[in-house]
Amino acid sequence: MTATAAQPRTWFITGASRGLGRAFAEAALAAGDRVAAVARTTDALQALADAHPGRVLPVTADITDRAAAFAAVDAAVARFGRLDVVVNNAGILSAGMVEEFTEAEARAQMEVNFFGALWVSQAAIPVLRAQGGGHIVQVSSIAALGGFPSTGLYSASKFALEGMSEALAMEGVGFGVKVSIVQPGGYWTDLYTAMRSSTPLEAYAPLRAELEKQWAEGSVDSEPRLAAEALVTLVDAEEPPLRLLLGSMVYDLAFDIAKQRMATWSAWEGVSRAAERAVPAPATAS
């Protein structure tokens, strides 16, 4: 549904104070819509609210707190009367080899990237169901295409997000609720500058050196504005896809990984098929 002067859409965007979330909010407002902009601290959102009187609701919330996520959704509905687009964008990146993560570090990664999105989705679904429709957009990552050295826990959080979201899409379709998973490549945000790191183990020094060599040329990323333009195109679509890749690099990588997996599955087809032979249910002892 495209916004009109008579019927602007209401967006609910987490992590809206900076990076992709801020770009998404600005794009929604440029389209004539309204935005409930959610962040842990909303000081940076005040200028946006001042520039768009009555169309921006800054909401201070820690979405890892389930009650806070539900309260944030309630506040948006109380202010605007409905929700049309819910964007689970808030996320953090924790870097380190899998062995290096403490329990607290691993749980923190999952709390934001998976549980935060889960709580917001749970809070939004009853609203969208009662309305007879709406669109939930889950911002995933290139890291959900596969696991990579030093970002294993980040990948795990995004894999979990995508598995949950696929099920959510099938559960919501009967109520007119659409779900899309967006997989961005590199954008100039503070995801990497705000990155958390594990305490390195000496055993991984050679691998770290090799990774640093690969990254030595630096990142050539894109403006968040381009991702925001793609997001508006996505939510404007009558039949939005379940998945949308953002960027040529992530697009090409997705196909490369899929081809590699298919080749492996094919090579091991005989073993796979031999592991299945249907038999009647075992008789139970009387």
Neighbours of 90 (CB within 10 A): 26
- The one-letter amino acid at 242: L
Q: Catalytic residue among 17, 94, 150, 154, which?
A: 154
Element (H, E) at 244: strand 243-246
Let me know if 158 is a catalytic residue.
yes
Q: Catalytic residue among 121, 140, 155, 180, which?
A: 140
- Quote helix, strand, coil % in the chain, to nearest 5: 50, 15, 35
Contact 96, 200 (CB under 8 A): yes
Question: How far is the C-alpha of 69 from the C-alpha of 60, rounded, in Å?
Answer: 10
Q: Looking at the DSSP assignment, which residues form a beta bridge with residue 10?
A: 34
Q: Catalytic residue among 158, 165, 178, 187, which?
A: 158
Let me know if 140 is a catalytic residue.
yes
Contact 88, 139 (CB under 8 A): yes
The catalytic residue positions are 140, 154, 158
